């Protein structure tokens, strides 16, 4: 009798859970197509002109498909994405409805995979929010979280990385001898998908120091905190001189990046990233940083190791900021990091820092003001949604201005191009030059 009563009680909960899952899946499936349709009807076709030009050159036999896929040129670096882009271009042509439909379907599949992954490690609500945000931000490239952050979708990128680190934390707590296998898998993924994923190496080393080793000595704790700042800088500097620099055949460059890395360990790092990011015309960036920091704090609250996860993200943001700083110093392979919206990379530093501050604030409220604590997450989330809607509206307005300006723009000469980038010896395609000139005009007008 009792078992029958228990069964009757569990049936409604199971039914409601299925309904919630159905709603989440429907949102994930519908949102990318709705967003893509709006942009397609509005005549906005992303910043994929470089890849369209490359596809035409492949079709004309001037470059090979293997060079296009393997060489790290342009805004999107992942070989798999380049193959998919070339396939869509071959089947459907330039910016056709079929092209948008296929890319949107791929985006739906990636969001569903993210939902399934997060459901294994975190609460259903957090997994659903992350997957829906990923699906709803179906604008720009579909490369992965690294390029989402680079394309100024900080909220989506931070959501993905927070979820990934939460998974890493739970994975570390429940399995033995998993760190070596996990590190090998991620390094293999880095080599097969995107070269920039190599920056996960210092993060994994830090993860080992934080989660795998459990010493009780105070000295070991200090060593871990120092390693959180030193290890990423040292490893990236070594990689730059032993792997990247010989690869681009610029062996005569002085060791300026090594000195810059040492300066970053002091106050120079924050100053350099601040100057690189908060440039004239980046007013929208403040809203992005605040929104992403709020989201980071909310997701950190779902973890039992919030400070450790936050430290991992601080290390990750440090890695990306060093990469951006190297790009400004003349790292030609990833010169795209210097383009307008790619200046958002170092903002991970500020996003994570603000997220940790908000996280501590939420923890303080939960202890000293429990009657307010239950309303704080909802208020933060509402503020985040409002900020993102406002940012989306401003971004759409900027895109319209850029589109109208590009119709009357002319490509600048090589000297102007070099002055825009701040470096010399970089081959810039015509479409990129037009976008730079349009962006400069819009900034000057505003």
- Residues 74 and 54: their CA atoms lie apart, in Å, by 10
**CA 339 to chain CA mean position, Å:** 16
CA dihedral 215, 216, 218, 223 (to 10 degrees): 10
pLDDT of residue 27: 87
3-state secondary structure of 222: helix
Eight-state DSSP code of residue 61: T
Length of the chain: 446
* Residue 315 covered by a domain: yes
Cβ neighbours around 57 below 10 Å, total: 14
Eight-state DSSP code of residue 176: S
CB 257 within 8 A of CB 272: no
pLDDT less than 70: residues of the chain: 1-13, 35-36, 38-50, 70-81, 95, 110, 114, 117-123, 125-127, 129-130, 133-134, 136-363, 365-366, 372-446
Number of alpha carbons in the 13 Å side-chain half-sphere of residue 361: 14
pLDDT of residue 442: 43
Eight-state DSSP code of residue 341: G
**CA 12 to chain CA mean position, Å:** 39
367 Cβ contact list (under 8 Å, min separation 6): none
- Residues 96 and 10: their CA atoms lie apart, in Å, by 49
**Unique residue bearing structure tokens 């709006």:** 38
Domain containing 213 equals 153-383
pTM of the entire structure? 0.42
- Residues 216 and 156: their CA atoms lie apart, in Å, by 36
* Residue 136 covered by a domain: no
Cβ neighbours around 290 below 10 Å, total: 19
pLDDT of residue 71: 61
Give how many domains the chain has, as a whole number: 1
- Residues 299 and 163: their CA atoms lie apart, in Å, by 8
Quick one: which of 405, 394, 414 has its CA closest to 437?
405
User: How confident is the model over 133-144, as pLDDT tens digits?
Assistant: 667 655 444 444
pLDDT of residue 193: 42
* Residue 276 covered by a domain: yes
199 Cβ contact list (under 8 Å, min separation 6): 232, 236, 316, 319, 320, 323
SS3 per residue for 109-126: HHHHHHHHHHHHHCCHHH
pLDDT of residue 370: 73
Q: What φ, ψ does residue 170 adopt, rounded to 5°? A: -65, -40
pLDDT of residue 346: 41
pLDDT of residue 241: 56
* Residue 123 covered by a domain: no
* Residue 370 covered by a domain: yes
* Residue 295 covered by a domain: yes
- Residues 318 and 239: their CA atoms lie apart, in Å, by 15
* Residue 437 covered by a domain: no
CB 25 within 8 A of CB 112: yes
* Residue 302 covered by a domain: yes
- Residues 270 and 264: their CA atoms lie apart, in Å, by 7
The tokens for 22 are 């159905």
- Residues 35 and 300: their CA atoms lie apart, in Å, by 29
């Amino acid at each position: 009798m009792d078992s029958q009563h228990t069964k009757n009680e569990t049936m409604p909960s199971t039914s409601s859970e299925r309904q919630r899952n159905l709603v989440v899946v429907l949102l994930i499936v519908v949102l990318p197509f709705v967003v893509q349709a709006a942009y397609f009807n509005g005549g906005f076709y992303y910043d994929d002109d470089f890849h369209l030009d490359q596809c035409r050159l492949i079709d004309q036999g001037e470059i090979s498909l293997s060079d296009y896929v393997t060489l790290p040129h342009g805004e999107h670096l992942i070989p798999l994405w380049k193959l998919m882009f070339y396939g869509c271009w071959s089947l459907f042509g330039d910016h056709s409805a079929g092209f948008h439909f296929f890319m949107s379907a791929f985006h739906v599949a990636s969001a569903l995979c993210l939902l399934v992954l997060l459901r294994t490690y975190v609460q259903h609500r957090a997994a659903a929010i992350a997957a829906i945000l990923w699906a709803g931000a179906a604008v720009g490239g579909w490369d992965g979280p690294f390029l989402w952050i680079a394309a100024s979708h900080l909220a989506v990128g931070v959501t993905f990385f927070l979820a990934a680190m939460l998974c890493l934390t739970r994975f570390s707590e429940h399995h033995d001898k998993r760190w070596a296998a996990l590190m090998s898998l991620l390094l293999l993924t880095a080599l097969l998908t995107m070269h920039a994923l190599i920056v996960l190496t210092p993060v994994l080393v830090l993860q080992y120091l934080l989660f795998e080793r459990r010493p009780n000595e105070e000295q070991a704790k200090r060593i871990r905190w120092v390693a959180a700042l030193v290890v990423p800088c040292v490893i990236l500097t070594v990689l730059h001189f032993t792997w990247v620099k010989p690869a681009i055949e610029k062996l005569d460059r002085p060791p300026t990046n090594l000195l810059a890395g040492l300066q970053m360990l002091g106050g120079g790092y924050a100053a350099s990233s601040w100057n690189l990011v908060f440039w004239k015309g980046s007013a929208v960036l403040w809203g992005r940083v605040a929104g992403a920091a709020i989201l980071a704090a909310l997701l950190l609250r779902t973890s039992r190791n919030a400070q450790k996860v936050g430290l991992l993200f601080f290390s990750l943001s440090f890695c990306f900021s060093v990469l951006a700083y190297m790009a400004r110093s003349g790292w030609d392979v990833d010169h795209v990091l210097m383009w307008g919206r790619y200046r958002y990379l170092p903002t991970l530093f500020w996003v994570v820092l603000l997220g940790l501050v908000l996280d501590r604030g939420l923890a303080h409220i939960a202890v000293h003001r429990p009657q307010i604590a239950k309303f704080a997450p909802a208020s933060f989330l509402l503020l985040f949604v409002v900020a993102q809607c406002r940012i989306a509206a401003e971004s759409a307005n900027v895109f319209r201005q850029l589109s109208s300006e590009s119709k009357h723009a002319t490509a600048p000469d090589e000297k102007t191009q070099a002055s825009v980038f701040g470096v010399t010896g970089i081959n810039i395609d015509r479409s990129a030059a037009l976008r730079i000139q349009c962006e400069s005009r819009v900034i000057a007008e505003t």
